[in-house]
Amino acid sequence: MYTAAFNYKRANSLAEALALLQQDPEAKLLAGGHSLIPAMKLRLAAPSTLIDISRLPELKGVRREGDTLVVGAATTYRELEDNPLVREHCPLLPQVLQHVGDPAVRSKGTLGGSLAHADPAADLPAAMLALGARMKAMGPTGSRVIEADEFFTGMFSTALNEKEILTEIHIPIRSGAKTAYAKFPHPASRYAIVGVAVVVDGGTVRAAVTGAGEHAMRLTKLEEALSGKELTAENIAQACQNLLSPEALNEDRAASRTYRAHLVDVMAKRALMQALGL
Ligand SMILES: Cc1cc2nc3c(=O)[nH]c(=O)nc-3n(C[C@H](O)[C@H](O)[C@H](O)COP(=O)(O)OP(=O)(O)OC[C@H]3O[C@@H](n4cnc5c(N)ncnc54)[C@H](O)[C@@H]3O)c2cc1C
What CATH architecture applies to the domain 7-52? 2-Layer Sandwich (3.30)
Q: How far is the CA of 11 from the centre of ligand 1 (A)?
A: 19
Long-range contacts formed by 86-92: CB under 8 A, 24+ apart: 86/62, 89/64, 89/173, 89/175, 90/131, 90/171, 90/173, 91/179, 92/127, 92/130, 92/131, 92/179, 92/180, 92/181, 92/197, 92/199
For ligand 1, pick from 117, 138, 158, 215 the residue to mutate: most ligand atoms within 8 Å of CB. 117
> How would you write the pLDDT of the chain (278 residues) with one tens digit per residue?
899 999 999 999 999 999 999 999 999 999 999 999 999 999 999 999 999 999 999 999 999 999 999 999 999 999 999 999 999 999 999 999 999 999 999 999 999 999 999 999 999 999 999 999 999 999 999 999 999 999 999 999 999 999 999 999 999 999 999 999 999 999 999 999 999 999 999 889 999 999 999 999 999 999 999 999 999 999 999 999 999 999 999 999 999 999 999 999 999 999 999 999 99
> Does 29 contact ligand 1 (Cβ within 6 A)?
yes
* Sequence ranges of the chain with CATH classification 3.30.465.10: 57-172
> Does 166 contact ligand 1 (Cβ within 6 A)?
yes
What CATH architecture applies to the domain 179-276? 2-Layer Sandwich (3.30)
In CATH, 57-172 is 3.30.465.10: yes
Q: What is the pTM of this model?
A: 0.97
For ligand 1, pick from 81, 100, 155, 181 the residue to mutate: most ligand atoms within 8 Å of CB. 100
> Does 34 contact ligand 1 (Cβ within 6 A)?
yes
Ligand 1, atom 1: closest residue by C-alpha? 101
Which pLDDT belongs to residue 1? 81
> Does 179 contact ligand 1 (Cβ within 6 A)?
no
> Does 47 contact ligand 1 (Cβ within 6 A)?
no
